[in-house]
Amino acid sequence: MNRNKKEEYIASLKSLASLCQSCTDAKEIANLIKIQHRTHQQSIGRFIKEAIKVYAKMYEDGYYDLRNEDTCKMCNSIVDKVEDTIMPFI
């Protein structure tokens, strides 16, 4: 991944994190997935799967604190269910 793309992705993730500050906002934003094109839904699912794997690894490596511990712990408990799932681009 080149530097410009990496910076663009980081900015997008920060923007999404800012939008999801409250549980209500996070739920409303997540519900918007339903109205996306099904190919985009699959792409979002692939991203979520990879994020789960990253958070689980962070938990295993002790790379968390009180701010992200629950997310890392939850992902570590479910990673086995998604790890081998094949999610093709159709």
Tokens 């962070």, residue located: 58
Going by C-alpha positions, the residue among 54, 35, 41 that lies closest to residue 88 is 41
Residue 88: predicted pLDDT: 85
Residue 89: predicted pLDDT: 83
Q: Give the torsion through C-alpha atoms of 51, 57, 60, 66, to 10 deg.
A: -40
Show the tokens assigned to 57: 């690894």
CA count, 13 A, side-chain hemisphere, 65:
1
pLDDT average per 10 residues of sequence, the chain (90 residues):
92 93 90 95 95 98 98 98 89
Residue 81: predicted pLDDT: 95
Residue 16: count of CB within 10 angstroms of its CB: 11
Give the span between the Cα atoms of 70 and 72, in whole angstroms: 6
Give the span between the Cα atoms of 77 and 88, in whole angstroms: 24
